[in-house]
Chains A and B, each alone.
Chain A
Amino acid sequence: MPEIKVTPLGAGQDVGRSCILVSIGGKNVMLDCGMHMGYNDDRRFPDFSYITQNGRLTDFLDCVIISHFHLDHCGALPYFSEMVGYDGPIYMTHPTKAICPILLEDYRKITVDKKGETNFFTSQMIKDCMKKVVAVHLHQTVQVDDELEIKAYYAGHVLGAAMFQIKVGSESAVYTGDYNMTPDRHLGAAWIDKCRPDLLITESTYATTIRDSKRCRERDFLKKVHETVERGGKVLIPVFALGRAQELCILLETFWERMNLKAPIYFSTGLTEKANHYYKLFITWTNQKIRKTFVQRNMFEFKHIKAFDRAFADNPGPMVVFATPGMLHAGQSLQIFRKWAGNEKNMVIMPGYCVQGTVGHKILSGQRKLEMEGRQILEVKMQVEYMSFSAHADAKGIMQLVRQAEPDNVLLVHGEAKKMEFLKQKIEQEFHVNCYMPANGETVTLLTHPNIPVGISLGLLKREMALGLLPDAKRPKLMHGTLIMKDNNFRLVSSEQALKELGLAEHQLRFTCRVHIHDTRKEQETVLRVYSHLKSVLKAHSVQHLPDGSVMVESILIQATAHSEDPGTKVLLVSWTYQDEELGSYLTSLLKKGLPQAPS
């Protein structure tokens, strides 16, 4: 029985370094190739030695698919392709292809230039890696090879985020990457058709959360920012340069405009302007409203939001600063945080998920004394707020996607084990499908039951369809044919055609049975009696009285002869071929019972 095997190398009961191996229909596909933000050692990248110990990765993997540009989904890519060594195709959408190398370079800079790590991938490696990338359109069916095809669906998580369907023959799997089921201010909602995959691999970041209405969250956010600014405090919003940042910028921009506020809003790093430019050029990937109005007013041209300079952090007075990265684990956001943390007038708003080990995670879990590098203790007096603006589907959204795609099996990744457990039960209960949640390195094997496609000769099909137009549940019509298997070509043809094609002669098997009946009349009259009897019984069949004095029932011939010895007995010769076996046998037994006295 064919099977699908799935092994997470990362994101198995965890968030971070997403990397999932899928074997389907004899093809091996790697889904995402991310880094883990919680680690700085070997654990930050997936363990690629799992894939193959001594062979080349290129020989083993048919393709790599990257769902979106977040580093926990693509951060290990240059390491994987250039340092471990992979030369096969890497697929991602156009915006991902455009933005991914910039984030990788940023990541490299922080790691190598700031932290001084060696043995890390270089800028050249990022470039070489990107040369292996093939960009895909939404809904385009990409033929990876003769058998393996992939197709991207809109995921709405960040610009260019996609879900991917992987298909070999009639077996298929869908990997969601990260997705969002509710449209927001700049992106649309994830969408997939009823593609009924054998397996749906879905993220489950918010497996147990059902978020309140987005409007409330936004109002809350604006209120908190506004209050802090009013009392002269500074607001730090750690974000990743692309993604939530644009969403929150649009939100603040419109609010500032409406309230006519004067406090400055800054966006850190030079990445931002560039980032906004990407949004302008890839406007077709944003939501309907922005796409419709972009000619008149481009939502990504901000009036109130200015570029940030490091010196501004010490300026007196209120301000709002968007700074990267989003989990306060390094870079400018962390620097500003250290500066502002001691003042209770200030506020830090964490708008997204923080993985374990990051400063973001620590302060969100209530820690107020942080041990920084060099054993320094940082006391956090500023207000810490968490506001879920991550564009992940919540539990309701995940269920909605499962309903949309109608998979036979579901597999959860990119979430915490405890929460997954809960969602797993819910999915199994509601959809009656198997749900899996393998840990990293653990393999799940699913049996699939694909139908086998063959070609049927149109003559045979039409003949059968003409017969079986009204399907009768009680008595299903059987069709007969011969399957000719030559090389990999399977054709179902009528038996006659099969014989002809193979140059074989038909062997006719015929039966002739003698049925004795008592009848003193002449043979002709006997025949007439037989004829009317059969005519009345076999209403659905063709019964004919032929000029030569015989009776035909369909293709079965009945003749009457006199008995050689007994003039009161007539011998009916019933003759049929093997193909009419049932009817022939039935007729003989029917005639054996004798003829009714008065023809009815």
Chain B
Amino acid sequence: MKLYCLSGHPTLPCNVLKFKSTTIMLDCGLDMTSTLNFLPLPLVQSPRLSNLPGWALKDGNTFLDKELKECSGHVFVDSVPEFCLPETELIDLSTVDVILISNYHCMMALPYITEHTGFTGTVYATEPTVQIGRLLMEELVNFIERVPKAQSASLWKNKEVQRLLPAPLKDAVEVSTWRRCYTTQEVNSALSKIQLVGYSQKIELFGAVQVTPLSSGYALGSSNWIIQSHYEKVSYVSGSSLLTTHPQPMDQASLKNSDVLILTGLTQIPTANPDGMVGEFCSNLALTVRNGGNVLVPCYPSGVIYDLLECLYQYIDSAGLSNIPFYFISPVANSSLEFAQIFAEWLCHNKQTKVYLPEPPFPHAELIQTNKLKHYPSIHGDFSNDFKQPCVVFTGHPSLRFGDVVHFMELWGKSSLNTVIFTEPDFSYLDALAPYQPLAMKCIYCPIDTRLNFIQVSKLLKEVQPLHVVCPEQYTQPPPAQSHRMDLMIDCQPPAMSYRRAEVLALPFKRRYEKIEIMPELADSLVPLEIKPGISLATVSAVLHTKDNKHVLQAPPRPSQPPASKKRKRVSDDIPDCKLLKPLLSGSIPVDQFVQTLEKHGFSDVKVEDTAKGHIVLLQEAETLIQIEEDSTHIICDNDEMLRVRLRDLVLKFLQKF
């Protein structure tokens, strides 16, 4: 069993598991931090961005100044932003049988895999994962496509050139494999390959392996996966949460008794407490608005935003913000708000109960009804008419490189009254802000990452007791910035096996058994023999049928009558098949009883001689000699088949067959 690690990003994993005869891809996360190296894509022409100076090498060479621009000491690529794909060369991706998706953030590379690698398999994901994943992809495509950029920079990617660039461009990995965003058509085609599954649904893969999604508690429809056969079990844990937010709680019990547990998607901000962050978010928001400033919240169109809106729903009246408009701007804002309301079955208990009343599970329905929350597909159109300040704007993309957020950064960045509050943990907020420097607006960092932290992980591992843990290398050492925090790493026994991008791990597995079924007729014919108290044995001689990786044992056919052969009999027909083995024998032969038996069967001249190790029984007339020892019997006779078979059967009476 092998694990091919195609992504180096611990929260956006992409691994391929070879298990029995199947090849299973676990998630296909897309590393979008690469976009931080690019200049933002403004919705409306931005004089500031277009007038940034080109970057020149130390020796004054300016051949890159079309591609690279400098802003406040940082260098950016002026081009269509590109994403860092999972490794596509490590394993032939056309051999992947299935892809298991654990949550909507971990499927963003799907079109690259399903459309460009010869992939012909099936993708499995829950319905909310697919629907919201579709929204995220549509938003991404929309953000990029609506501001077409003529330039696609490539000179800087040349290895010789890249070496000369300042950090972080110099250190960017695998730049030659970076790709532009996919198209709507590719998204649709990729999503059409998904088969919907429900939690705890058992899905058979080729009769060899069974996969099951389990609730992981992190997002709507997010799942962990069990990959098992009858005797082996691999648990794949991806983005999971033990906090009570909106999704159904995590199913921990089903992860028990795993041989291997692959652990990915832990919190990216292990030192921040999500509850505290939400509190800080609300108070900073209120403070800014009260002072007449605007609040910008760069966010994804689904996920934490539901929780934030719910908090604000409870908070705004008490904080006296009832008259402040909240805007949610995204091409998929409406869909996202609507979809959240229809996935009752995937929600936590409290929200489910509301649906039974029947009431919408999320209070943002009421915010919309009372006009406190308004949503728009973009800043163009209705929004420009309705727009009132001060206000709160939720919009994407959290990288600040594309989407409507770019516009608001340009619009509000110059005033210290305004605040941008970062809640999404996927991008370093300092890097995200770099191309907007110098900024007058306040920047607050309240990352809300509800995924498991290291304390929760160690508790979880103690509880579910996997034999082996496999995780990204980042989790086996403290974070680089906090190298003294030995508590911020995975601590388990035996130590976790770690992987990094482009590595292949051999998983510590010893498969010893496989399921086989015995047909009832055969089972009836078995004669169990109690060998020791509580342990019975039966010898089985049967015909093995194997079809679709299922094995069945059938009773051997009754010896058929030799056909009245008109055909010439060939010699070879008589040759016995040496592969038809007789059972093994065990036990020992008591000489006295054996001699008695011989006599009873008409051997009158039996003589017994003692030897060093046993006895020799002589049948003088038949010139036959039987050596009997503790663990062996040797019959030496003339070529008299009848006699030999008689003696054989008498000996066998004393022995057990296996």
Query: Do A and B belong to a common assembly?
Result: yes
Binding site for B on A (CB under 8 A): 1, 94, 97-98, 101, 135, 137-142, 151, 170, 274, 277-278, 280-284, 294-295, 449-458, 461, 464-465, 467-468, 471, 475-487, 491-492, 495-496, 498-499, 502, 504-516, 537-541, 554, 578-583, 585-586, 588-589, 592
- Which segment of B267-275, B282-290, B528-536 sits at the interface? B528-536
CB-CB under 8 A from B338, the residues of chain A are 294-295
**A579 and B515 contact, Cβ closer than 8 Å, known pairs A482-B539, A509-B651:** no
- Which segment of B75-83, B113-121, B169-177, B578-586 sits at the interface? B578-586
Cβ 8 A contact of B585, one of A1, A277, A509: A509
**Is the beta-carbon distance between A283 and B342 smaller than 8 angstroms?**
yes
Instruction: List residues 28-48 of chain B with CB under 8 A from any CB of chain A.
Output: none
Taking CB as reference atom, which chain A residue is nearest B523?
A: A452
CB-CB under 8 A from A455, the residues of chain B are 230-231, 513-516
Taking CB as reference atom, which chain B residue is nearest A541?
A: B578
Instruction: List residues 605-658 of chain B with CB under 8 A from any CB of chain A.
Output: 630-639, 641, 644, 648, 651-652, 655, 658
Sorted nearest first, the 10 A-B pairs with minimum C-beta distance are A582-B576, A451-B517, A495-B658, A495-B584, A455-B513, A137-B198, A508-B632, A456-B516, A139-B201, A98-B356
**Is the beta-carbon distance between A485 and B538 smaller than 8 angstroms?**
yes
Q: A487 CA to B530 CA in the complex, in Å?
A: 12
B375 smallest CB distance to A (angstroms):
11
B contacts with A: majority SS: mixed
Q: A487 CA to B127 CA in the complex, in Å?
A: 43
- For this complex, 23 residue pairs linking A to B, each with C-beta atoms less than 8 Å apart, are A97-B356, A141-B201, A281-B358, A283-B342, A455-B513, A457-B512, A461-B551, A465-B544, A477-B579, A478-B542, A479-B542, A479-B543, A480-B541, A482-B538, A482-B583, A483-B538, A484-B536, A485-B535, A495-B584, A509-B648, A509-B655, A540-B575, A588-B639
Cβ 8 A contact of A581, one of B571, B582, B631: B582
B527 smallest CB distance to A (angstroms):
10
B552 in contact (CB, < 8 A): yes
Most-contacted residue by chain B among A170, A294, A495 (CB, 10 A): A495
Cβ 8 A contact of B197, one of A139, A467, A476: A139
Cβ 8 A contact of A483, one of B526, B579, B586, B648: B526
**A137 and B639 contact, Cβ closer than 8 Å, known pairs A284-B342, A476-B543, A478-B542:** no
**Is the beta-carbon distance between A506 and B584 smaller than 8 angstroms?**
yes
Count A-B pairs with CB separation below 8 Å: 265
B315 in contact (CB, < 8 A): no
**Is the beta-carbon distance between A589 and B641 smaller than 8 angstroms?**
yes
**Is the beta-carbon distance between B556 and A478 smaller than 8 angstroms?**
yes
**Is the beta-carbon distance between A516 and B514 smaller than 8 angstroms?**
no
Q: A503 CA to B164 CA in the complex, in Å?
A: 71
CB-CB under 8 A from A506, the residues of chain B are 584-586, 631
A126 smallest CB distance to B (angstroms):
13
CB-CB under 8 A from A486, the residues of chain B are 534-536
B199 in contact (CB, < 8 A): yes
Taking CB as reference atom, which chain A residue is nearest B546?
A: A465
Taking CB as reference atom, which chain B residue is nearest A274?
A: B358
Residue tally, chain B, CB below 8 Å to A: 93
CB-CB under 8 A from A502, the residues of chain B are 531-532, 535, 537
Q: A251 CA to B231 CA in the complex, in Å?
A: 54
**Is the beta-carbon distance between A495 and B535 smaller than 8 angstroms?**
no
Taking CB as reference atom, which chain A residue is nearest B645?
A: A585
**Is the beta-carbon distance between A510 and B516 smaller than 8 angstroms?**
no
Q: A98 CA to B361 CA in the complex, in Å?
A: 13
Instruction: List residues 577-595 of chain B with CB under 8 A from any CB of chain A.
Output: 577-589
**Is the beta-carbon distance between B344 and A140 smaller than 8 angstroms?**
no
CB-CB under 8 A from B159, the residues of chain A are none
Cβ 8 A contact of B631, one of A450, A457, A468, A507: A507
**Is the beta-carbon distance between B531 and A284 smaller than 8 angstroms?**
no
**Is the beta-carbon distance between B200 and A454 smaller than 8 angstroms?**
no
Q: A589 CA to B585 CA in the complex, in Å?
A: 25
Q: A445 CA to B512 CA in the complex, in Å?
A: 40
- For the complex with contacts A480-B581, A485-B538, 19 further pairs of A-B residues with Cβ separation under 8 Å are A1-B520, A137-B201, A151-B201, A281-B344, A295-B339, A451-B519, A451-B520, A452-B518, A468-B546, A482-B537, A484-B536, A495-B583, A496-B584, A508-B633, A509-B633, A511-B637, A512-B636, A541-B575, A588-B641
B343 in contact (CB, < 8 A): yes
Q: A458 CA to B551 CA in the complex, in Å?
A: 12
Taking CB as reference atom, which chain B residue is nearest A98?
A: B356
A contacts with B: majority SS: mixed
B270 smallest CB distance to A (angstroms):
33
Cβ 8 A contact of A586, one of B552, B575, B630: B575
CB-CB under 8 A from B589, the residues of chain A are 507
Taking CB as reference atom, which chain B residue is nearest A536?
A: B571
Cβ 8 A contact of A537, one of B519, B543, B556, B571: B571
Q: A141 CA to B251 CA in the complex, in Å?
A: 14
**A504 and B586 contact, Cβ closer than 8 Å, known pairs A457-B512, A485-B537, A511-B635:** yes
**Is the beta-carbon distance between A284 and B127 smaller than 8 angstroms?**
yes
B542 smallest CB distance to A (angstroms):
6
Taking CB as reference atom, which chain B residue is nearest A553?
A: B578
Cβ 8 A contact of A94, one of B345, B513, B631, B655: B345
**Is the beta-carbon distance between B634 and A510 smaller than 8 angstroms?**
yes
**A513 and B637 contact, Cβ closer than 8 Å, known pairs A94-B352, A458-B513, A479-B541:** yes
**Is the beta-carbon distance between A475 and B577 smaller than 8 angstroms?**
yes
CB-CB under 8 A from A142, the residues of chain B are 200
Cβ 8 A contact of A480, one of B514, B539, B633, B641: B539
Q: A424 CA to B177 CA in the complex, in Å?
A: 64
**Is the beta-carbon distance between B537 and A483 smaller than 8 angstroms?**
yes
Q: A476 CA to B542 CA in the complex, in Å?
A: 9
**Is the beta-carbon distance between B544 and A515 smaller than 8 angstroms?**
no
Taking CB as reference atom, which chain B residue is nearest A573?
A: B636
B447 smallest CB distance to A (angstroms):
30
**Is the beta-carbon distance between B551 and A467 smaller than 8 angstroms?**
no
Q: A450 CA to B517 CA in the complex, in Å?
A: 9
Q: A476 CA to B552 CA in the complex, in Å?
A: 14
B464 in contact (CB, < 8 A): no
Taking CB as reference atom, which chain A residue is nearest B586?
A: A504
CB-CB under 8 A from A509, the residues of chain B are 585, 632-635, 648, 651-652, 655
**Is the beta-carbon distance between B342 and A282 smaller than 8 angstroms?**
yes
B540 in contact (CB, < 8 A): yes
Cβ 8 A contact of A487, one of B534, B574, B581, B630: B534
**Is the beta-carbon distance between B543 and A511 smaller than 8 angstroms?**
no
B572 in contact (CB, < 8 A): yes
CB-CB under 8 A from A581, the residues of chain B are 582, 648
B511 in contact (CB, < 8 A): yes
**Is the beta-carbon distance between A539 and B198 smaller than 8 angstroms?**
no
**A94 and B344 contact, Cβ closer than 8 Å, known pairs A452-B517, A452-B518, A496-B584:** yes
B341 in contact (CB, < 8 A): yes
Q: A101 CA to B512 CA in the complex, in Å?
A: 51
B425 in contact (CB, < 8 A): no
CB-CB under 8 A from B644, the residues of chain A are 511, 513, 585
CB-CB under 8 A from B197, the residues of chain A are 139
Cβ 8 A contact of B586, one of A476, A499, A582: A499
Taking CB as reference atom, which chain B residue is nearest A592?
A: B639
**Is the beta-carbon distance between A295 and B358 smaller than 8 angstroms?**
no
CB-CB under 8 A from A141, the residues of chain B are 200-202, 212
Cβ 8 A contact of A498, one of B532, B537, B635: B537
**A454 and B544 contact, Cβ closer than 8 Å, known pairs A467-B579, A510-B635, A512-B634:** no
A139 smallest CB distance to B (angstroms):
4
A516 smallest CB distance to B (angstroms):
7
**Is the beta-carbon distance between A451 and B552 smaller than 8 angstroms?**
yes
